Structure 1
């Protein structure tokens, strides 16, 4: 083995810096890809981050490969699940030293939700190991290249070089094997089983896994080499009446804690269900709990293997002993328990399930200790069989390259094959890598920056993350709708972290990708037509998570900035529905909207803790402001006036006694100051709670003068902000107060915005694996950096205005479409020279601390003169 590794290292590019190690078709130094390291954010932040006990300063990103907004991205998988502060199925963690395979992922990069429709590919030699941990290979980051168009690594335990590129729907792998009579490539469904069929005469595997019981993730894998062996690791049988003769007594509770008496009691003959909404009549669709109990009768003596596939929280007891205790976060997983049983004996089995939001899955299977025909698996593989995994084995020579293309689809197998043939029609790996590199270079060249090399690396890596999501479901003009489970023509996007991304990611796309912004809005309207509501956090269907209905903000911001090409009447109708009706059909909408409209706020004694009542009141008010701006642009004067009045309702949760937001009961009484039940995020220490309150009080981007008036005037708000930043209360990794550094521009102190933004960019963002200051949330944190580094920020989406700050770069040139370039020049720029002394716009003196969108997209030149001391007179013109 040592000899194999030494020989292999001669062919492997070794080095910590990705810039010096480019893989095939290494791009020239002027390529923006030379600056990008997609591993940034895969480790805990190295900065001094303000974060509560219930969160962790993790980017939650992976080294993604694939086109921007790809249907399927690909990433190394170091873990199926990782138990951190929040248990999430992020595929890759920098601090882990083994790779389990290479995942085709639909995990929204940087978010805290589920990875839907995942699959994993793993090469190995020797004995075939199905289990992800058992097959995992050691690797070194020194032998790793991580770019958005290409990934490469040496799997030390197998002496296999694995490298791949990917387009929108297809991955292209090249595995360099050592000499072996048993070189294998295995495919599994990560968390769930699949159905697999091997077609040896075509060197193909085809299959699918079921997504929440409602649609399928199809794939076709094609190799350039014939198979010696092929097999499916067959799935155990569902535990049914043959093993639990009396069935499972199911006690359902309309709470998620098994509290009180059960609301519904029924008997199930088996636990093999996928529920899109409520499991049985009389049970709520979300946040319920259930206890299943039955008597398992063994038909054979020997080791039995139980496989339990569920979502959210699960406990399994066998003869009253706790054997599975798994808490997942908004995603599906499979747990295994093995036990020796005696034939004819009865054993008590009990499963407790705690449901979160969205769909529910519950599958219990058992592999009994019986001999199986050793040829059965390969025979069934030719017909298609349910299994945990499928694998094919080859005989390979020393350093033999085996190539594999994997086409994916949500429509059907024929579409997966068509996607594969369209995107990578041959087995020319280097040409495939070059094609993907060109796509990414085109994206990154939308912005040219001049400045320090390290700053460029941070910037272009962040810009890369701004283009990973949302996910485009379009397949040759069609898409499978996760809202009505039918195939339609047109546009559909999902993995839209809208609660986060309306703030700066979508405004960045308005500038850089106006046509695709139109497509995204049309996708939202298609979701409205197919599911009844605009999406607020689709993953891939409606998710009942987060507050507000910020599709309102995305649409309004795009429209007031000139984005067209969508049905504005339908959009406005959908926005009004958000503001007036309770959610249904699996969509939560604005939770508490009936109280918001009746009382002017969301009451804390009705919607406490999970309900985020104060945050909802603030965010509903902002969404109403956006609806007002849309109404104004459409000439709907009455609606404009109505919703501008509604946008002031945030005042109803501002408390004069504390000077902060505060929960208010239905009867009008306040909660105790700093009451922790106000939010799940206000838990932890008293300091954590204070941080929550201080950040939330600033969640009024649409009416900063009104907030200042509440506090006693501009001077009082300025003092609040000074104390807020000086005492490290600002949590840059969360979104509630992302606009806060720019609030100084509104209160005649723009020099403090310049200072604060520059200091934060330097303090929190690094060209390092720990270089992100919190969950990237589908590019929101990265886009916050991109805007700040360029020198402006959309502090209030819905207004066609950007707040100016001090650019990190000496020169920024943005391609704003139609051949126009907007350039920002910072003369005398340095770390010390962070203050704007004067400015010109297109050669004329400019004394405003903000910029109209029309001035930006018309092209032109904004020049700053910078210096070491603030010019407190600049930027005061209104």
Structure 2
């Protein structure tokens, strides 16, 4: 039995690889239109691409050939496959026949270009032939570094062959060429040129099966007599042959003629053309047999195998047989222990071709990465678009990064991971291509560099890839840094329009804006418009969804495929092609978009559109490509998608499921295992997956992993003509995203309360270590800061109530000892009455009520008495500052917030001491301000407390007014004083009438004229976010929820909230974030009021944002810019008093603090309600 098993295995394997799959490859597919591919001969990843050239310039002749043409000007040995720029076509030969014997001077001017008919052309992998209209038959085949041509001339004519080193198309220009005739059967030389490749060097050796009887060497059209070699700009040689049958083999090198000769020897190309052709065909069959597809539809098989074939035309092997190659620094290098590849069209191929290689070409992956690292050593940076040892810097991004990251994360170890990681960071930390501004601003400004939006989006993705490698290598700080940068995509998302949009350095959006506009390479997008780029966040789709809201995101994604296909602009990019709505499959930015439906539980739409793309935008004819093939990317998309999978995020080791085309596919893996994909009932109508099983078990997610493929196994789909809309509709089936979907119902509240406590302690312990006994910690410099000449223990007093609520008794006892041994208010300096009241007076009163130690009350009473003189103005409204020792006051220009936000503290002090004076003075000040409201019930921003006249007449709910409204409702709740309830009801009605508005971005409060009520400025910020809490306390929960949802959208838009922004345009007007609590405070109140779990989700997100952007090794830092996430050296005490307290209370048991028994002052110090 054992012997029989091995015989069967041998026979089946032999049969598998003996199938002639090359019959399903049509190299003419896509040669018409914008495909830009060549039909000629090459071997897999071969250095030589021997193919016909039409001799015509122009965009559609980038490969030298277009099916629309009927002329051939030569057969050259180097070609690009599917690029948007034309170059190469080096070492061009062309046969010709002339009836009459022609003079040398005439012959060198003779046009050898000849007409042909496509019916006389044939091509298959490793082979091309054509019978020219002059009856010459040309056949081409190749080995790895050597091309072999076979010319069959008609009888009774003069037979010539021209080798023209001056032949050039498109960008290419010869700089120096050299030809030397060694003997009648051998010519050597070189061609140095400049074009897309700045320093292109091709050395060659040609040998002829028959001797030429005569030769003429010329420079362009000038012939030279009696010379056997020539160095000039456009050297050429014309050879005359006497026999009808001729073979020419030509080997090339980037290093030297000698190396070209060694390459020819190493290839061992026989003069037997059919033998060499068969060897090339066998190489192709070996590679094509790595995937065996079964279908009755020959056209599908031809399109599939032609696409698989095209994935192996680039990159190409670049080093010579001895390992040498021309490096990116212009010097000669040697590839030690690896094969050096070239032609890296990385902006294109990182998306699908390189991930496909990890399945089909795993033995080459390490060499491809080593080639990129060699380029980095030679050039100083990883390749962007490398062409034959040249960095062209064509296209954008640093997309060697996702390819390298993918290899590292998939376990490839044949290269130095540390060297690779250093190289990745070098590319990301350079200053050119807008990266300096990108780091500083968090985006690339549209008024500084073209393609700013595309660059920002692609840099953000590449940064995410670096973060994943940093995490794997244990580089935690780098991980956090690059993960933060990966969210910079949010900075170019305009929530008003719902599109990615150009933004200027001053934070303003480019105006006017039209998402259909495209100006090729000169606008905000690269070869695309905003429609096509607004979905490029492959690493954080959930984050992108959050920016829109799920329903709006689905609507926008649907519109991508259903809107009209009009693209506007004076210079519309020709790359925008293959349109389905605004989806443009003819260029790479759209390639992932059809798979996005998997992230919103509508995988049936992914199946619908993927199948439509496969069946309508590809076919096996010369018109079979809808855009540039781009060195294998277009084809790799087809290959993966036809299998039913796609590398949506090329570096996350997962493949999203689409719509398979074939009855059965067998992937023969390099480890000897097989992965089989079967699609039962599949047809052109049965395109929808009803269910799927992986290795016999129901597949409950819309993706599979790379590991599952590599281990071998079976993936089985059952197909139908009707979509299964329930399939993979549950969030647990969605693909992975950096931002996780939070099901708040599943949150362990106690677990998150403990997490918040630990983060509080992280900040508290940093304060203790570096600033103990002083007012504040400077977390970056690890130093301390006092507010005034001497410490007033701001942070310890502010933190005490939080310590008590968190039951951190040891820490609370340390604070008590510090306060009672050190705190004195007998200080001869001026302080802010407002800040001292809310932080210290409120903190001490709360400490007394929570702890019971009367020494707190004694300190509070002493402080309260020292502050009382602020009320000695003519109006009774308080001055801004007071000297704690002398009672002297100053600062007559105050504001409603500083006037009103004393009531809770002074009122509580009256209750606890029995001295009504504190309450009376604070209430009088409040009423005096209220009585100066306008006829429409609004107050202004600033007022003279001596005259009672308004100085700034702008009304709003932001800083300088905000807590004025807060203390109205809280004073009623705390003291049951109906006067405050009446003031609140009247005031909030006016605020809602004149300041509140709803627009397409949400519900907001703006800034208006206090007399007319006319909105002047549509500004909203971190301080304004308190209003939802106030609305909850006032009973207006519906409005509170609307505003909180809008604030949360603002938070998600920027990753964390800015100090202030324009809610109509979503342009930031103040980019700081100083660890403010207001949005968290409102989430807390809304959760307590509604118990809606979405507010738990908000709390979780707030916590994670703090950790991601503000956390340091020790302590927390404020942000200088929420877009760039640049930190600055400040940790306000309210982080410990308010921010972490409200976060903690969102998750902690409600008995931790009963809102029926306590009211928070504006610094979140809880004060007991006197029933």
Which TM bucket (shorter chain)?
0.7 to 0.9
1: distance between equivalents of 2:516 and 2:508?
15
Quickly say closer, same or farther: Cα 1:674–1:386, change in 2 above 3 A.
closer
Q: Is the 8 A contact 2:205 2:250 kept in 1?
A: yes
Could you tell me which of 717, 732, 747 is aligned with 2:600? 747
Q: Is the 8 A contact 1:38 1:63 kept in 2?
A: yes
Alignment deviations for residues 636-666 of structure 1 (CA, whole Å, 9 cap, x no partner): 2222122111100100000012110111111
1:716 and 2:552 are equivalent in the alignment: yes
1:693 and 2:541 are equivalent in the alignment: no
Match of 1:316 in 2: none
1: distance between equivalents of 2:256 and 2:150?
25
1:19-38 counterparts in 2 under 5 A? Answer: 30-38=19-27
Match of 2:145 in 1: 169
Quickly say closer, same or farther: Cα 1:618–1:734, change in 2 above 3 A.
same
Q: Is the 8 A contact 1:227 1:394 kept in 2?
A: yes
Q: CA deviation at 1:627?
A: 0.4
1:357-376 counterparts in 2 under 5 A? Answer: 376=224
Q: CA deviation at 1:426?
A: 2.9
Match of 1:658 in 2: 497
Could you tell me which of 162, 174, 183 is aligned with 2:159? 183
Q: CA deviation at 1:675?
A: 6.0
Paired residue secondary structure (1:618): helix
2: distance between equivalents of 1:37 and 1:88?
19
Q: CA deviation at 1:28?
A: 12
1:462 and 2:307 are equivalent in the alignment: yes
Could you tell me which of 257, 270, 285 is aligned with 1:441? 285
Alignment deviations for residues 69-113 of structure 1 (CA, whole Å, 9 cap, x no partner): 22221111112413xxx47643101011111111112x3310123
Quickly say closer, same or farther: Cα 1:603–1:385, change in 2 above 3 A.
closer
1: distance between equivalents of 2:512 and 2:679?
46
1:98 and 2:71 are equivalent in the alignment: yes
Could you tell me which of 499, 502, 505 is aligned with 2:350? 502
Q: CA deviation at 1:418?
A: 1.8
1: distance between equivalents of 2:434 and 2:395?
13
1:327-346 counterparts in 2 under 5 A? Answer: none
Structure with more of its chain in helix, by fraction: 2
Paired residue secondary structure (2:181): strand
Unaligned runs of 5+ in 1: 1-26, 45-57, 237-366, 368-373, 584-590
1:642 and 2:481 are equivalent in the alignment: yes
2: distance between equivalents of 1:646 and 1:473?
35
Paired residue secondary structure (2:192): strand
818-827 vs 631-640, which moves further? 631-640
Match of 1:416 in 2: 260
Q: CA deviation at 1:745?
A: 0.6
1: distance between equivalents of 2:278 and 2:484?
54
Q: Is the 8 A contact 1:536 1:543 kept in 2?
A: yes
Q: CA deviation at 1:215?
A: 5.8
Q: Is the 8 A contact 1:232 1:385 kept in 2?
A: no
Alignment deviations for residues 537-589 of structure 1 (CA, whole Å, 9 cap, x no partner): 01231112211101111100111122221011111111111111224xxxxxx
Give the paired residue count.
Answer: 679
1:538 and 2:386 are equivalent in the alignment: yes
1:205 and 2:187 are equivalent in the alignment: yes
Q: Which has the higher contact order (CA 8 A, sep 6+)?
A: 1
Q: CA deviation at 1:118?
A: 1.2
Paired residue secondary structure (2:560): helix
2: distance between equivalents of 1:740 and 1:418?
48
Paired residue secondary structure (1:139): strand
1:478 and 2:478 are equivalent in the alignment: no
Quickly say closer, same or farther: Cα 1:859–1:477, change in 2 above 3 A.
farther
Match of 1:604 in 2: 446
1: distance between equivalents of 2:611 and 2:511?
37
Structure with more of its chain in strand, by fraction: 1
2: distance between equivalents of 1:783 and 1:694?
23
Alignment deviations for residues 603-656 of structure 1 (CA, whole Å, 9 cap, x no partner): 01111xxx2101011011000001011112222222212211110010000001
Quickly say closer, same or farther: Cα 1:486–1:600, change in 2 above 3 A.
same
1:271-286 counterparts in 2 under 5 A? Answer: none
Paired residue secondary structure (2:119): helix
2: distance between equivalents of 1:480 and 1:821?
36
2: distance between equivalents of 1:772 and 1:121?
29
Q: CA deviation at 1:207?
A: 0.9
1:813 and 2:666 are equivalent in the alignment: yes
Q: Is the 8 A contact 1:789 1:808 kept in 2?
A: yes
CA RMSD, aligned part only?
Answer: 2.4
In our comparison, the structure showing a higher alpha carbon Rg is 2
Alignment deviations for residues 17-37 of structure 1 (CA, whole Å, 9 cap, x no partner): xxxxxxxxxx99941111111
1:553 and 2:402 are equivalent in the alignment: yes
Q: CA deviation at 1:196?
A: 0.7
Q: Give TM-score scaled by structure 2 length.
A: 0.56
1: distance between equivalents of 2:107 and 2:453?
48
Q: CA deviation at 1:475?
A: 1.1
Q: Is the 8 A contact 2:146 2:269 kept in 1?
A: no
Q: CA deviation at 1:682?
A: 7.8
1:492 and 2:340 are equivalent in the alignment: yes
Could you tell me which of 419, 429, 440 is aligned with 2:273? 429
Match of 2:715 in 1: 862
2: distance between equivalents of 1:478 and 1:789?
37
Quickly say closer, same or farther: Cα 1:217–1:739, change in 2 above 3 A.
same
63-72 vs 640-649, which moves further? 63-72
1: distance between equivalents of 2:467 and 2:428?
11
Q: Give TM-score scaled by structure 1 length.
A: 0.74
Paired residue secondary structure (2:503): coil
Paired residue secondary structure (1:142): strand
Match of 2:687 in 1: 834
Q: Is the 8 A contact 1:151 1:164 kept in 2?
A: yes
Q: CA deviation at 1:423?
A: 1.6
2: distance between equivalents of 1:440 and 1:813?
17
Q: Is the 8 A contact 1:165 1:436 kept in 2?
A: yes
Q: CA deviation at 1:216?
A: 2.9
1: distance between equivalents of 2:284 and 2:527?
43
Match of 1:582 in 2: 431
Q: Is the 8 A contact 1:553 1:623 kept in 2?
A: yes
Could you tell me which of 194, 211, 217 is aligned with 1:232? 217
Q: Is the 8 A contact 2:657 2:704 kept in 1?
A: yes
2: distance between equivalents of 1:214 and 1:137?
31
